[in-house]
Amino acid sequence: MSVRRVWLAWSAGKDSAWALHVARQDPTVEVVRLLTTVTQPYDRVSMHAVRRSLLLRQAEAAGLPLQVVEIPAPCSEEQYAEAMRAALHVAAAEGVTEVLFGDLFLEDVRAYREERLAAVNMTAGFPLWGRNTTELAHEMIAAGLRATITCVDPRQVPADLAGAAFDEELLARLPAGADPCGENGEFHTLVWSGPMLEQPLQVRVGEVVEREGFVFADVCEVD
């Protein structure tokens, strides 16, 4: 049986974490590295605002090496593409020709990823694509995935969800029309426990701030 060596795009959040969990159940796939974008001025995972220290803890708990792509802020499309190309050269050197993503249904995002990877003779895989997001959210929680909301778009969901747990209570609080997995950018998460991690991270919620129209909860390691 042929086994594909792949990288997995890791946002530190629940969808990428669940994509890792699903990929590991596929005997034809071997995830060999996580790929994450970090915004340099803040030293945090882009958009999810997760501290680099927690990102490194996650990768350690997942038992995988981490490829960090550092980008400036603001970051032009050309700068992003060049930084990503450099990372994908590392993938090619490892014999990797495919990157997996946790995207669920946004066709334009999928097309963008496929186009970018095709430009360097690589392909994109989507282990969660087309799943019913309501069913998927409940499945994640029932399986023991634990996550904290790190970023909220207050135009779509209540601002006070920043710092809340991703659990059944949160799903019940989401307004009509909000995606239960936050696929439309309603919220982003940090996973600190679940079947994809060998041990849970010890975290606490710190300061909550509003910046550039979004509300961010600073999740920190417990001292």
Q: Does residue 133 lie in a domain region?
A: no
pLDDT at 1 over 90: no
Same domain? For 113 and 155 the reply is no
Same domain? For 24 and 120 the reply is yes
Same domain? For 105 and 158 the reply is no
Instruction: Select from 125, 155, 188 the last residue of a domain.
Output: 125
77-93 and 107-118 helices, crossing angle to 10°? 60
**Structurally, how many domains does the chain consist of?**
2
Same domain? For 121 and 24 the reply is yes
CA 104/CA 126 separation, integer angstroms: 8
Q: Does residue 102 lie in a domain region?
A: yes
Same domain? For 110 and 199 the reply is no
pTM, whole model, 2 decimals?
0.96
Instruction: Select from 76, 97, 125 the last residue of a domain.
Output: 125
How many Cβ atoms from other residues are within 10 Å of residue 54's Cβ? 21
pLDDT tens per residue across span 157-178: 999 999 999 999 999 999 999 9
Same domain? For 13 and 119 the reply is yes
Q: Does residue 90 lie in a domain region?
A: yes
The pLDDT of residue 41 is 87
- Token output for 16: 């990428």
For residue 30, list its beta bridge partners. Answer: 5
Same domain? For 111 and 16 the reply is yes
pLDDT at 2 over 90: no
Same domain? For 117 and 67 the reply is yes
Task: Give the Cα-Cα-Cα angle 98, 44, 209 (nearest 5 degrees).
Answer: 135
Q: Does residue 138 lie in a domain region?
A: no
Structural domain for 121, as ranges: 4-125
Q: Does residue 193 lie in a domain region?
A: yes
Instruction: Select from 125, 156, 186 the last residue of a domain.
Output: 125
Query: Are the beta carbons of 101 and 6 closer than 8 angstroms?
Result: no
CA 175/CA 157 separation, integer angstroms: 7
Same domain? For 25 and 101 the reply is yes
pLDDT tens per residue across span 5-22: 999 999 999 999 999 999
